[in-house]
Amino acid sequence: MTRHSACATKGSDMVWQGNYTRLFIDGRWEKPASDDKIRVISPFTEQIVAEVPAATKADVDRAVAAARNAFDNGPWPQLSLTERIDVLNRVSAKLGEQQELLARIVSDEMGCPISLSRTMQSAGAKALLDSFIDLAPQVEWSTIRRSSTGTGLVTREPVGVVAAVVPWNAPMLVTMLKLAPALLSGCTAILKTSPEAPLDSYLFAEMLESAGLPPGVLSVLPADREVSEYLVTHRDVDKVSFTGSTAAGRRVAALCGQDLRRVTLELGGKSAAVILEDADLDLAVAQIRKLSLRNTGQACSNKTRVVVARSREAELLDRLTAMVESMPVGDPADDATEVGPLVAARQRDMVERYIEIGRGEGAKVVIGGGRPAGLDRGWFVEPTIFSEVQPNMRIAQEEIFGPVLSVLSFGDDDEAVAIANNSEFGLNGSVFTADDERALAVARRIRTGTVELNGHVVGFHSPIGGFKASGIGREAGIEGFEAYVELKSYGLPPALANSLG
């Protein structure tokens, strides 16, 4: 081979070994158009983990041309769904074999605590792929509709060449959200990875290569923002699926709008966990631990606004303080670590600015607010809880993307709902109460794409996505296929309609 693997096994340990020197384009490991490199920096050691080629516009042209040819002239769109499922089943098996390695790679490149990498980044990616494989036969790919005005054959056909742009915080999970339905639908794709976390995608490309994916169906390009913009505006790209910040999503939407290019956006959030006066606080705090500070706060669906009944506020603050005190902060490779470093120095700087903004607005730091003692390297910020937060404060309105929670109080259900909805975002949320029917009634009034009742998550067979500035479209579930198909209608002669069923 003309490339070097970025990781290898040594005994029972995974270790880094060299750097990638090639790009995966058109089913082959190709020499990049330039010698420019992306340095992948460990958020924990602040040292270079590996280097990969930085894709250029010329590399984008090659990758898009390969995808265009594979879609227009190649076998992939013409294969039966069963044949495409067979290939993706082989990929799933390889994901199962490489789960620990994949988890280690993601932890090394972006700092996710290894226990979470194993569940969310690695096992979660496989489970998501398996979910799409299970759901694909349930999609109404073709149906005949008869009426007094005519007989139509209505089909769902692949949208074409897809540019899938994924973030650094959950790179393989989001990759699967996009590529699994796209490939199962018969699309071809270019996966554009973030500069911070490109290494897992190389392992994934190896899996696809060995699983027998035809040439041109997928290319993998690590690239910066300028090259990303070139990709999403490329004339031969039919569909863009982007996950990232709302600011970047607005830019992508504007660029795609110029050419009426189809686009799906999964963007930011400032989700609320609503804790009613009769809630089980043990349950609520356990869920906040898992789903508010998850991935060191670097998850768009985290519940970073904790909206609690005024009568329970003091008790909750005591419990949240104890919770933070019990959460180990440190090396993401340590199984005990619950809070790791932030992905980059710039991210830590931004989180620290927001902590100072919160103080300046009059909110009170209950715990945290600085850098952890004893950690002299790595981009760490202490998990931080703010009290006395007012709904319109910046720390309650803007996505911080770090381990910072704002606690707001309310008097009745109407005020709780008003606070939860007082946001430009509408991605996720939670309601906690002893009364399940009351939980659902309150959840129905919250303007978000997903609401979890008493900690119960929706699972991969349900769609996810945002209201308002949290995005356009839905991913996951059977609805996740809709982003990658076009509806087409054929007027049928009666005899042909009868022969088709």
- 70 Cβ contact partners less than 8 Å away, ≥ 6 residues apart: 26, 76, 188, 214, 215, 216, 217
Whether 415 is a known active-site residue: answer no
Element spanning 180, H or E = helix 171-185
Beta strands, E only, 150-258: 150-158, 161-165, 188-193, 218-222, 239-243
Beta bridge partners of 322: none
Please report the DSSP string for 10-71 in residue order.
Answer: ETTEEEE-S----EEETTEEEPPSS--EEEEE-TTT-SEEEEEE---HHHHHHHHHHHHHHH
Distance CA 187, CA 425 (A): 31
Q: Is 374 helix (H, G, I), strand (E, B) or coil?
A: coil
Beta bridge partners of 156: 487
Whether 300 is a known active-site residue: answer yes
User: Is 456 buried (19+), middle (13-18) or exposed (0-12) by CB count in 10 A?
Assistant: exposed
Catalytic pick from 300, 338, 352, 482? 300
Catalytic pick from 30, 109, 196, 266? 266
Angle CA 49–346–222, to nearest 5: 50
CB of 354 closer than 8 Å to CB of 398? yes
Distance CA 29, CA 165 (A): 20
Distance CA 382, CA 393 (A): 21
Q: Which of 274, 358, 289 is nearest to 321 (CA)?
A: 289
Torsion of the alpha carbons at 443, 449, 455 and 461, rounded to the nearest 10: 130
Q: Which of 215, 164, 168 is nearest to 192 (CA)?
A: 164
- Per-residue CA distances from 456 to 121, 259, 338, 425, 459 (Å): 20, 41, 21, 21, 9
Our measurement of the distance from residue 111's CA atom to the centroid of its chain's CA atoms, rounded to an integer in Å, reads 16
Distance CA 267, CA 467 (A): 10
List the catalytic residues.
266, 300
